Homo-oligomer: A and B are copies of this chain.
Amino acid sequence: MARITLLISCPDESGLIARITGVLHRHGGNIVENGEYVDPDRRRFFMRTAVEGVSDVDLLERVLKTELPKEADIKISTQERKNVVIMATSEPHCLGDLLIRAAFGDLPMNVKGVIANHGTLRELTQSFNIPFHEVSAAGLTREAHEAQVMDILDREAPDLIVMAKYMRILTSGFIQRYPDRILNIHHSFLPAFIGANPYRQAWERGVKIIGATAHFASEDLDEGPIIAQDVIPVTHSHGPKEMARNGRDVEKRVLARAVRFLLEDRVVVTGNKTIIFE
């Protein structure tokens, strides 16, 4: 039986859950997963519902619109698998992990292609029968380079763009073109160690734990809404190189976790934060 996922956000008012679940029930929907959250500061209501048995999704959406406040944001996903383009530079751990998960059905996505600014990961990508687009930035302005990348992206029209250790800074034009669709993995426990060489920064500060952060790309570098984070302990005997090596394991599992949340429509952005319906 086809499953659809609803993500609803609107100003909070009394009786919203009763109204929404009532509509779902009258349209044949059987709720299989449900989560709500009210942001007490903004007085805003958020709800994610996975439903089976709805025969006419368009009708459902129209009825929901009439029943909910008119500022309501209603997103209904009927896809079983989303389309994804992965961007990378030269590190294989995140890319390889995602490709294996996609190939064997662990993550419900179609990887439409990999775009990289170096050729290092070509063979790895192609061994999974995924198109590899090398777009070198050599001799190009940032804008000219991104124009080539955007050509490929616009052709593939992915639901999600995953930066799997893509080590170039994005222009604000690029980021604005794909709002809430660019997922980045930063190799530190943000907001600690923003910017370049976070493992070296962590080593210089002498921290006892390092981490990684999956977040939406935003115009302010490393400041976008955080989706997932995880950490791993380190000791004085870890230099920047050992921290980076151990950190890679955290990076790939945090990134895979965030990708799953997005593929399963579990993420809502509100202000500079995310609500995650686990």
A100 with B106: in contact, given A189-B209, A191-B193, A236-B273 (CB under 8 Å)?
A: no
Which size class do A's interface residues fall under?
A: 35 or more
A208 x B226 contact (CB < 8 A): yes
A178 within 8 Å of B (CB atoms): no
A45-B171 Cα distance, complex, nearest whole Å? 47
A136 within 8 Å of B (CB atoms): no
Kindly report how many copies of this chain are found in the complex they form together: 4
- Please, which residues of chain B bring their CB within 8 A of the CB of A209? 189, 211, 229-231
Contact with B along A119-150 (1 / 0, CB 8 A): 00000100110000000000000000000000
A21 x B14 contact (CB < 8 A): no
B22 x A18 contact (CB < 8 A): yes
**Nearest-neighbor residue (CB-CB) of A40 within chain B:** B239
Which of these binds chain B: A55-63, A80-88, A248-256? A248-256
A67 to B: closest C-beta gap in Å: 12
Contact with B along A84-105 (1 / 0, CB 8 A): 0000000011001100110110
Most buried by B among A96, A128, A208: A208
Q: Which residues in window 212-234 of A have CB below 8 A to B?
A: 225-231
A121 to B: closest C-beta gap in Å: 10
- Please, which residues of chain B bring their CB within 8 A of the CB of A104? 92-93, 96
A4 to B: closest C-beta gap in Å: 16
B18 x A24 contact (CB < 8 A): yes
A66-B24 Cα distance, complex, nearest whole Å? 22
A12 to B: closest C-beta gap in Å: 9
Which of these binds chain B: A28-36, A69-77, A153-161, A162-170? A28-36
A56 to B: closest C-beta gap in Å: 17
Contact with B along A33-57 (1 / 0, CB 8 A): 0111110100000000000000000
B192 x A206 contact (CB < 8 A): no
A14 with B34: in contact, given A106-B93, A190-B207, A206-B272 (CB under 8 Å)?
A: no
A206 with B274: in contact, given A15-B25, A248-B106 (CB under 8 Å)?
A: yes
Pick from B21, B96, B190, B205: contact of A96, CB below 8 A.
B96
Q: Which 4 A-B pairs have the closest CB atoms?
A: A127-B127, A206-B273, A18-B21, A15-B25
**Seed contacts A207-B229, A235-B276; 7 additional CB < 8 Å A-B pairs:** A17-B17, A18-B18, A96-B100, A127-B128, A206-B225, A236-B275, A249-B253
10 inter-chain pairs at a CB distance below 8 angstroms, sorted by A residue, are: A15-B21, A17-B31, A32-B38, A34-B36, A35-B35, A93-B101, A96-B104, A207-B226, A208-B226, A236-B274
